[in-house]
Amino acid sequence: MAKLTVEEAYELKVGPNFQLADVDPSSTPGLSGKSSVDEAFNDLDDALDEEQEKLYANGRAGNENAGSVLLVLQGMDTAGKGGIIRHVIGKTMDLQGVHVKAFGRPTEEEAAHDFLWRFGPHLPEPGQISVFDRSHYEDVLVQRVKQLAPPEEIERRYGAIVEFENELAARGTRIIKVMPHISREYQAENLKERIENPEKHWKYNPGDIDDRKLWSQYMAAYQIAMTRTSTDVAPWYCVPSDNKKYCRTVVKTLMLEALQSLQLEWPKADFDPEMELARLAQS
Amino acid sequence: MAKLTVEEAYELKVGPNFQLADVDPSSTPGLSGKSSVDEAFNDLDDALDEEQEKLYANGRAGNENAGSVLLVLQGMDTAGKGGIIRHVIGKTMDLQGVHVKAFGRPTEEEAAHDFLWRFGPHLPEPGQISVFDRSHYEDVLVQRVKQLAPPEEIERRYGAIVEFENELAARGTRIIKVMPHISREYQAENLKERIENPEKHWKYNPGDIDDRKLWSQYMAAYQIAMTRTSTDVAPWYCVPSDNKKYCRTVVKTLMLEALQSLQLEWPKADFDPEMELARLAQS
């Protein structure tokens, strides 16, 4: 049975010497061939299901130290963020313990506050998992590429993000940040499909081509953002994603490891089982 | 290939002459045998996936007339509400288009308002599906059985609920109300499992036995609530649920029919595909 090990997934972690240009989006490190990816993908569902239920159970039982998980997804158009949410989160987890939030352009009210302000209400409570579809990294990616904020403000944000994530981690949140990394050629195929297939028109926006023309500027912005904000408590993973299923397998592996690292037990009974069985028998 | 037809699901609709006592919780109307239930259960996933995506797409495209769906789940403890959310909603739908909300005892602030006040913020926007795990029916079920409100206030609520749901339907929301109906014997098995299995302790509450002792009063309250509030635009379905998979199959069938009844098309392109293909080729 093909499996992706946690150690193999950790190889995708962004360290100080990380070079985005060296990552081949079409590779599948740790797994070779379609059938290996398929097997590894399906291998993790039962464990994920159980670990997430245990986390949720602890939250429901009022365990303030249950911990929580934040999954940040940040990638180019058509990189597969939606598919991760659907196939990794939706299919294996209890929706009642999951909060998915997509972040678009800031509203006027949001833009009037510090850039981190709008994310606070969507951070996970103990026992919960939050998934950000785009995130606070927009503020150092698109905003840098399109010069929507002054350079010194962009500069300030890297540190502010690290501080924000450090505090979050200190409060018991496991943070996983994933850049599903696709090639420019693969994006062209995906965009072509969205333009040609009427069932996918709603996913296409002519602005996607404008962003595509800025590909190398975006890659430079990702390179800087990921190296400056990948920390022990909130690491970035740059995941080759021309094979979408490979990327989803990596995310499952990282999510499972994050959940297991919380080392949760099932909540203790706040009742006497013998007595309750007797009450049940008499009821 | 065994299938549950929409007509068969409609047979479970609560009409003026409905008698809850006549419904056998262990029956599986329209399907016979485990393999039939299994087949019918799996039959609907692709269609549900597609229809929900179309609804979500319309919402995203800003179609104010997209419509929406509200699924109300109201049943006795261990009847399988959580399983419906997990297996019918989570596994087939895009989480970004779904809002699941569990309602517990009202907070002090909520209790200070009219009983319907707290549900408003959780109703679905165009393009969305909301699922209520318990609902505004608590206010005519537990509140009636335990006399938590004066009889004339309970009496007033049936009409208020019908009016509330009529308005919601008039704004384009398809409403499906499901009572997963289990037998008292099956509940005993489920509670026993929750008391004996440490992984399920968190789902058990000694108060469940107190409610169980009021079984016949609850059934009477359901009988009244369902017959008085089952309308053309917001029908109740009393679904035999000792076979959980049967119940989930019925809910899938009803959800699919509700989504199809919105008669949505994929959103029209707000761009010229030929021009965009040319732009893509040059990018």
Report ipTM for this prediction.
0.89
Return the half-sphere exposure (C-beta side, CA atoms, 13 A cut-off) of residue A207.
7
In a domain, A190, yes or no: yes
Q: How confident is the model at residue A145 (pLDDT cuts 50, 70, 90)?
A: very high
How large a percentage of chain A has pLDDT more than 90?
92
Is the pLDDT at B1 greater than 80? The verdict is no
CB contact under 8 A, A202 and B61: yes
Q: What is the pLDDT of residue A92?
A: 87
Q: Which of B46, B103, B195 has the highest number of chain A CBs within 10 A, making it the mutation to test binding with A?
A: B195
Closest-CA residue of B relative to A184 is: B283
For residue B273, the chain A residue with the least C-alpha distance is A195
Inside any domain, residue A1:
no
The pLDDT > 70 percentage for chain B reads 100
Evaluate if residue B142 carries a pLDDT over 80. yes
User: Taking an 8 Å Cβ-Cβ cutoff, which residues of chain A contact chain B?
Assistant: 57-58, 60-61, 82, 85-86, 89-91, 93-96, 98, 100, 102, 133, 188, 191-192, 195-196, 198-199, 201-206, 209, 212-213, 266-269, 271, 273, 276-277, 279-280, 283
Mean pLDDT of A242-247: 96
Tell if the CB–CB gap between B89 and A95 is shorter than 8 Å. Answer: yes
Q: How many Cβ atoms are within 10 Å of A67's Cβ, its own excluded?
A: 23
Q: Which residues contact B55 (CB under 8 A, 6 or more apart)?
A: B66, B67, B68, B69, B97, B127, B128, B129, B259, B262, B264
- For the cut 90, the answer to whether the pLDDT of residue A210 exceeds it is yes
Q: Tell me what pLDDT residue B162 has.
A: 98
Domain-embedded: residue B278: yes
User: By residue range, what is the domain housing residue A51?
Assistant: 9-282
pLDDT of residue B144: 97
> At A273, is the pLDDT very low, low, confident or very high (cuts 50, 70, 90)?
very high
3-state class of A101 per DSSP? Answer: strand
Check CB contact under 8 Å for A206 and B93: no
Exposed (0-12), middle (13-18) or buried (19+): which is B114, by Cβ within 10 Å?
A: exposed
pLDDT band at A2 (very low <50, low <70, confident <90, very high): confident
Write the CATH number for A124. 3.40.50.300
Q: Report if residue B254 sits inside a domain.
A: yes
Domain-embedded: residue A2? no
B180: pLDDT strictly greater than 80: yes
Q: Is B110 helix (H, G, I), strand (E, B) or coil?
A: helix
Q: Phi-psi category of A227—alpha, beta or left, where left has phi over 0 and alpha has psi -120 to 50?
A: alpha
> Residue B53 pLDDT more than 90?
yes
Structure tokens at B215: 């079984």
The label of the residue with tokens 């016949």 reads B216
- Taking CA–CA distances from B90, the nearest residue in chain A reads A90
What digits encode the pLDDT tens for the residues B223-272?
999 999 999 999 999 999 999 999 999 999 999 999 999 999 999 999 99
Q: Mutate one of B99, B274, B276 to test the A interface: name it (highest A CB count within 10 A).
A: B276
Q: pLDDT for A75-100, tens place per residue?
A: 999 999 999 999 999 888 988 899 99
Q: Is residue A149 part of a domain?
A: yes
The length of chain A in residues reads 283
Q: Which of A97-101, B165-169, B179-183 has the lowest mean pLDDT?
A: A97-101
- Mean pLDDT in chain B? 96
For the segment B168-191, the average pLDDT, to the nearest whole number, is 98
Residue B96: closest C-alpha in chain A: A100
B129-133: strand order across its sheet: B98-102, B129-133, B68-73, B173-181, B236-240
| Per-residue confidence (pLDDT) for residue A91, from 0 to 100 | 85
Strand order in the sheet with A236-240: A98-102, A129-133, A68-73, A173-181, A236-240
Q: How far is A208 from chain B (nearest CA, A)?
A: 9
Task: Give the range with max mean pLDDT: A101-105, A224-228, B5-9.
Answer: A224-228
pLDDT digits (tens, 9 = 90+) for A146-168: 999 999 999 999 999 999 999 99
Element (H, E) at B176: strand B173-181
| pLDDT reading at A185 higher than 80 | yes
pLDDT at B35: 86
Is there a contact between B273 and A196 if contact means CB atoms under 8 Å apart? yes
In a domain, B1, yes or no: no
Q: Domains in chain B: how many in total?
A: 1
